[in-house]
Structure 1
Amino acid sequence: MYIKKLMIALCAVVAAPLSFSASPAVAYSEAGKFDSSFNEAVFREGVAPYRAQYGHNLVEIEPASPAEYVSVLTRLAEQGRSPIVAVGFSYGEAVAEVASQYPDLQFTILDSVVDLPNVQSILFKEYEGSFVVGAVAALKAKKNTIGFVGGVNLPFITKFGCGYAQGAHYINSNIQVLSRMISDDFSGFADTEGGYNKAAELIDAGAEVIYAAAGGAGNGVYDAAAENSGVYAIGVDSNQNFLHVGTMLTSMVKNVGVAAFGTWHEAEEGTWKPGVKVLGLAENGVDWKLDIFNRDLITVKQEKEINKIREDIISGKIRVIDYTANNNQCPVALISN
């Protein structure tokens, strides 16, 4: 039922289908396939099940830096690969450039919009999932300070922090949410040392729970939290609860892998369509994770309260503000200094 609901949402695009023979590919971000985050979710929940079901030679490519994005997409396009899934919003300009040069191929970009007739853009309501884990953090914190670490200082990343702060303030109006950004460029997503250092700053400032939206650099955040008794971390994109058992409070998952599988599946079925898809809690595009690895950290009472918040967001009873759709303004305090 879980995957079925998301697959229904993935088919809700108004443009006419484009029919091509599937010969798919994926271009990961520079953080690498096994980043315990965004890329790895695409591999484990998208690439692996696609190969198991269809058995095709799906090509994977891992660029060393964003400077290689255009060249790797061009290489895949020259091979006639289609659909080509580009993992992450940092691919936006590269997809726009290459897709316009290969109009007969299909491209899908995760977390960004490229307005071309052969591009499928899949977005997620990260602010909804972040609200939920912000509430989890506030319920866990014994004092009034929690933290957020972003990989790159961009509104798209601040959106995670703003949703997190809204959820925390929903539980405790007196809580302080401290924010730190690792870098002003995309290198921040791979800077584990930078993640560690920013988390250490927050811990020194009294943060008891730290949420990371930092790609592979989040591993540094989790390491720092694990070294400090009474400090917890919240993972992002994929389920990272297993990384430091006893430290990882929960994870805000984006079902990017299922979305990637969906675009390849559509190509196989001849139903692939360009356009924009937006997936939130209602569409099972985002969620929080409770499993055997963090069960002992969250009481049954807290679980019920969090799931009630989740249901109220879906029903519209709780309205979560999208930072980027609100002129880059957060309705609650997100303290960056």
Structure 2
Amino acid sequence: MMKKFVTLALGMLLLVSLVACGEKETPLEEDHSMYLITDKGTIDDKSFNQGSFEGMKQYADELGVTANYIRPEDVTTEDYLASIDEAVSKGAKVVVTPGFLFENAVYLAQEKYPDVKFVLIDGTPKHPDTQEEKVAENTVAILYREEQSGFLAGYAAVKAGYTELGFMGGVAVPAVVNFGYGYLAGADYAAKELDITVNARYTYLGDFIADPKFVTQAVSWYNDGTEVIFSSAGGAGNSVMAAAEEFTDKFVIGVDVDQHDESDTVITSAMKNLQGSVYNVVKAALTDGFPGGEVQVLGVESDGVALPDNFERLEGFTKADYDAIYEALKADKDGIASNIPTIATHGEKASELKFDNLTVEAIGE
């Protein structure tokens, strides 16, 4: 009897296995209610565009529908508007535009399409000629406190034992400058706690696209003693990673999203919660509660910026260390958060920043 039961059970298990193997994933329903327009990058750039697209896709997956994107032919306001026109003509109800390059296009589009919701990441809608800022009721602008994310990265790097730092930004736009200034401030804060002196090189590459000349530049810095470079430069960050990979003891700090898997040289990343924030506003746009007319500024107080919850490559810097400095930023202990320099408070020249335990060599100013 037992033998028959075992045989029957095995037969049923085999049948279930065969049925399971024959199952196909339910295809997503084609839907054109949500679109993302890419800037210079692609939705698999492991950075800004991808992080934003994944937030939209997360909500689309919950609905069982497709998330859509359009890559403009060029990076001009006219091309961005043409892509928005295409999305709306296909039925878009919400359009996500990741990056300050969309500021002029969204300003015009929000008036042209009052029934469409627009989500502008890292910028505010501005008139192409006067640069007048206007966030219409069908638009929400989301900004991040990059200086806080950069601060966490700089603090962690110094606490992990690095004293020769580098920063390579793409272009000196507010988000990039704030990342860089925060990085320097965090490094200085950690250096004061450790009673040591830290050195930093600082420059802007002039582009967000990978280029062999950026590899050469980063290799030169590494050869001159720089130990770790924070690259807030979009695709150009891949050039810095390629440079670090030519050594066994040189490292990189990623940006925007967790770039841990991009290279073994990435010890941490200064992140924005792109996926979470885009998910929230896209969902609100297609249900209710859309925060139209608002400029949201997300920082540690709303978990809008962070480092990845993975500290294996940061020897000497633990999760407990991270939690402590994160909570200190949240509480603005001793003015730690409010005193981080930004482009708004200190202008565009890193050479004019004043630190106690950090010296800065600003290149190309």
Aligned to 2:149: 129
1:281 equivalent among 300, 319, 334: 300
SS in 1 for 2:52: helix
Distance in 2 (CA, whole Å) between partners of 1:29 and 1:96 is: 16
- Whole-angstrom distance in 1 between the partners of 2:188 and 2:83: 43
Question: Which of 201, 204, 228 in structure 2 is aligned with 1:181?
Answer: 204
- Residue type at the aligned position of 1:50: Y
Equivalent residues of 1:195, 1:219 under 8 A apart: no
Deviations 1:146-182 (A, max 9, x none): 0011111334311111000000011125212211211
- Aligned alpha-carbon RMSD (Å): 2.1
Correspondence list, 1:221-240, <5 A: 221-240=240-259
Asked if the contact 1:27–1:63 (Cα under 8 Å) also holds between the matched residues in 2, the reply is yes
Matches within 5 A, 1:291-310: 291=310, 295-299=312-316, 302-310=318-326
Q: Which runs of 5+ in 2 are unaligned?
A: 1-30, 126-133
- 1:38 is aligned to 2:64: no
Structure whose CA Rg is larger: 2
AA in 2 matched with 1:74: D
Q: Secondary structure at the match of 2:289?
A: coil
- Give the structure 2 partner of residue 335 of structure 1: 361
- 1:334 deviates by 4.2
Look up the match of 2:113. Answer: 102
Residue 311 of structure 1: CA displacement? 1.1
**Alpha carbons of structure 1 residues 141 and 209: separation in structure 2 relative to 1, 3 Å:** farther
CA distance in structure 2 between the aligned counterparts of 1:101 and 1:313, rounded to whole angstroms: 41
Alpha-carbon distance in structure 2 between the residues aligned to 1:201 and 1:336: 15
TM-score, with length taken from structure 1: 0.84
Pick from 122, 127, 132 the counterpart of residue 111 of structure 1: 122
Normalising to structure 2: TM-score of the pair?
0.78
Tell me the equivalent position of 2:286. 268
CA contact (8 A) 1:145 1:206 kept: yes
Which amino acid is 1:131 matched to? F
Q: Deviations over 1:87-131 (max 9, x none)?
A: 111111111122222222211100111223221000111110110
Residue 327 of structure 2: aligned partner = 311
CA distance in 1, matches of 2:111, 2:220: 44
Cα separation, 2, equivalents of 1:29 and 1:132: 27
Corresponding residue to 1:242 among 261, 264, 270? 261
In structure 1, the partner of 2:12 is none
| Alignment coverage as a number of residue pairs | 307
Identify which range, 22-31 or 206-215, moves more after superposition.
Answer: 22-31
Q: Does 1:148 align with 2:167?
A: yes
8 Å CA contact retained: 2:57, 2:67: no
Between the aligned partners of 2:343 and 2:262, the Cα distance in structure 1 is 31
Partner of 1:98: helix, strand, or coil? helix
Q: Give the equivalent residue in structure 2 for 1:8.
A: none
Q: Name the SS for the 1:81 alignment partner.
A: coil
AA matched with 1:31: G
Cα-to-partner distance string for 1:132-159 (whole Å, 9 max, x where unaligned): 11011112345x3200111113343111
Contact 1:190 1:215 in 2 (8 A): yes
Could you say which residue in structure 2 is the equivalent of 1:9? none
CA contact (8 A) 1:92 1:109 kept: yes
From 38, 62, 83, the equivalent of 2:71 is 62
Instruction: Tell me the distance in 2 between the aligned counterparts of 1:194 and 1:221.
Output: 10
3-state SS of paired residue (1:233):
strand
Pairing 1:197-208 to 2, within 5 Å after superposition = 197-208=216-227
Q: Higher relative CO (CA 8 A, sep ≥ 6), structure 1 or 2?
A: 1
The aligned counterpart of 2:131 is none
1:25 matches 2:35: yes
Contact 2:32 2:66 in 1 (8 A): no
Identity %: 27
CA distance in 2, matches of 1:153, 1:237: 16
Displacement after TM superposition at 1:29 (Å)? 1.6
